[in-house]
Amino acid sequence: MAMFTSRGSLHGLAVVALLCGLMFTSTMAFVVSNNSGKSSTSSSLHMTLLTAGGKKIDVPAGSSLKAACAKLGVKPRYSCQKGDCGSCTVSVGGSRIKACVGKVPPQPTLKSLQEKGLEVK
């Protein structure tokens, strides 16, 4: 194992490591918004409103995140398609989820937002 003592060499390695990390990380994010004003046609079917790039869709909570990405026109990077590599990781409502194997999270409720200490207006 080679050791570098020069600051320039260490800086160069840090830049290369950063660039490699960016190549394997998705930067897509979804907003999961509180949908309390909408009424659902079925009390057993819980829908989650996802927003990305100005487009909004309602999807059933627990459904495939990969399918939701396709409906929104979002194309995460896929490599292994099994959730092992993490290249498809997207941010959904502040949580990082692997799109190839992940499920759409449930819609946050006013109560769950208040329990987390968030102000609800």
Instruction: Tell me the CATH number at 50.
Output: 3.10.20.30
Tell me if 9 is assigned to some domain.
no
Give the pair of three-digit tokens for residue 71: 């409906």
Tell me if 3 is assigned to some domain.
no
pLDDT tens, 15-38? 333 333 333 444 456 566 555 444
Left, alpha or beta for 111 (phi > 0: left; psi -120 to 50: alpha)? alpha
How much is the mean pLDDT over the chain?
69
37 contacts 49 by C-beta, under 8 angstroms: no
State the pLDDT at residue 53. 82
Tell me if 82 is assigned to some domain.
yes
